[in-house]
Chains A and B, each alone.
Chain A
Amino acid sequence: MADRDGDALAVLARERGTDLVAYATLLAGDRATGQDLVQDAIVKVFGRMRTGFAPDVAEAYVRRAILTLYIDGFRRHRTRATFAHLVAEPERRASDDAASADRIDLRAALRTLGPQERAVVVLRFYEDLTVPDIADRMGLAEGTVKRYLSNALGRLGERLGPIAEPADAVPVTVGASSGAARRASLDGRHS
């Protein structure tokens, strides 16, 4: 019989599971790891929480746990990037990706990023968090987040071309500018 938190867990998994897995997959780079991250995060959160949490509150905790598990996993173990190209991917991926060259390019570009860099990019441009929010979420100084963001946009810019500035920020010209210029621009705009 499901207990109260078990019901919240079921509601969260049913109603928000797809979004959570999408978020985790963008962080981790592949669907299988994304699924594992979400499941581990749900266990971690529901294994800790006291009774009475609504699913939307639980979701916030789970998203935070997904990020922590993703970063910690890389801190504790050798980087997945060493072997990622050798792991068998489901057939579905190839056919889906073939439908969009842009997605292939972006996935390839994201794979060049370190875990922290990738995390700040996903939080900034997918989750629409501000630099202070990202710093809080990742337990980093804002300056560190800006540095990761600057480095990440630099690398992405090398593969994708100059990155357009977010609507809520002044331009960060990555592809054509130097690292120092990028950093200066980010320091001024993303906080």
Chain B
Amino acid sequence: MSYDLRAGLGDLGAAERAIPADLPVATLRVRARRRRATRVAVAGSVALATVAAITVAAVALPDVDAAPPPAATPSWTPDAAGWPPAITLDGPTPRCGEAMPALLVPDGEPVLVIEDAWATGPMVAGGVLELSGSTLTAPEDFPVMATRPSLLLVRDGIVVGIENHEDDSQSGVFYWSNEQPGVESGPELLDMIRCETRGRGPVPLDPGTYDLYVTQEVFPRGAPIDDPAGGRTVAAGPFPVVVERPSGDATPGP
């Protein structure tokens, strides 16, 4: 007897459709509107640049000594180093066991930010953290490249858990999106480990609630990445992360 794959998938689909989706419409509206604003700005700047290029070319034909057009004024106020307002760390990125620095939030609205919901599911003790993805959003006139997000699990102000990079060939890889000025990261599962053990030994992360912080080293696109002074550490958080008690463990959590 052969298996009816169409019927089987139909059955699976029907089981899923029996559960209401309950999508967060208000949140989706805000995210879509914010994304649209960025994209409109990008499209507008591209169109303006095209028009400007044609205009400059036309003007340049009769008068090659004409002055160049003024540079476009950014929609954000740069800091002393020329960077857009960003949420950064008040100190170097902490290592295991070190205190988590405060986040420095600029006076105006930050435009270089990590956003798009680090929605996390429950995390099994000692195990895997599920992230929905993130977007490092940058102004359209300040394209960036960035490291992949780095995660810090913090309890009582101290970094107690980090991502396990031991077998992670992607660690430190730079990537960027050609589609928009920011850098987008898709859904992924990350192996988080307890600091004291560095993932070795039988001591998993304690059950309970942690604060998750996300950091990314950001550089202007095209800048040399071997000079840390040329970059910024952009941060986001805290996001609550619940580590679930392993099944069969009756020990009360903190």
* A residues in contact (CB < 8 Å) with B: 2-3, 5-6, 9-10, 13-14, 17-23, 25-26, 31-40, 42-48, 69, 72-73, 76-78, 80, 82-84, 86-88, 92, 96, 100, 102-103, 106-107, 121-122, 125-126, 128, 153, 156-157, 160-164, 166-167, 175
Q: How far is the CA of A84 from the CA of B127 in the complex (A)?
A: 11
Q: Does B29 contact A (CB under 8 A)?
A: yes
Q: How far is the CA of A102 from the CA of B10 in the complex (A)?
A: 12
- Nearest to B31 among chain A residues (CB) is A43
Partner of B13, one of A23, A73, A167: A23
Q: How far is the CB of B238 from the nearest CB of chain A, in Å? A: 20
Q: Is the interface of A mostly helix, strand, loop or mixed?
A: helix
Interface residues in B179-232 by Cβ distance below 8 A to A read 185-189, 191
Q: Does B95 contact A (CB under 8 A)?
A: no
Q: Does B119 contact A (CB under 8 A)?
A: yes
CB-based contact A80/B188 at 8 Å: yes
CB-based contact B189/A80 at 8 Å: yes
Known A-B contacts A2-B29, A31-B16, A102-B8; the reply to A77 vs B188 at CB < 8 A is: yes
Q: Is the interface of B mostly helix, strand, loop or mixed?
A: mixed
Partner of B32, one of A38, A47, A103: A47
Q: How far is the CB of A99 from the nearest CB of chain B, in Å? A: 9
- Nearest to A72 among chain B residues (CB) is B186
Known A-B contacts A13-B25, A43-B31, A46-B32; the reply to A87 vs B130 at CB < 8 A is: yes
Measured between beta carbons, the chain A residues less than 8 angstroms from B244 are: 88
Measured between beta carbons, the chain A residues less than 8 angstroms from B34 are: 47
Known A-B contacts A18-B19, A38-B23, A78-B170; the reply to A106 vs B188 at CB < 8 A is: no
- Nearest to B3 among chain A residues (CB) is A160
Q: How far is the CA of A167 from the CA of B29 in the complex (A)?
A: 41
Known A-B contacts A32-B121, A39-B23, A163-B3; the reply to A106 vs B12 at CB < 8 A is: yes
- Nearest to A46 among chain B residues (CB) is B32
Q: How far is the CB of A160 from the nearest CB of chain B, in Å? A: 4
Q: How far is the CA of A47 from the CA of B37 in the complex (A)?
A: 8
Measured between beta carbons, the chain A residues less than 8 angstroms from B38 are: 47
State which size class the interface on B falls in: 35 or more
CB-based contact A43/B3 at 8 Å: no
CB-based contact A6/B29 at 8 Å: yes
Q: How far is the CA of A92 from the CA of B11 in the complex (A)?
A: 17
Q: How far is the CA of A46 from the CA of B25 in the complex (A)?
A: 12
CB-based contact A126/B32 at 8 Å: no
Q: How far is the CA of A73 from the CA of B244 in the complex (A)?
A: 26
CB-based contact B128/A86 at 8 Å: yes
Partner of B186, one of A20, A48, A77: A77
CB-based contact A87/B3 at 8 Å: no
CB-based contact B3/A13 at 8 Å: no
- Nearest to A82 among chain B residues (CB) is B189
Known A-B contacts A31-B19, A36-B133; the reply to A106 vs B8 at CB < 8 A is: yes
CB-based contact A162/B3 at 8 Å: yes
CB-based contact B28/A43 at 8 Å: yes
Q: How far is the CB of B24 from the nearest CB of chain A, in Å? A: 7
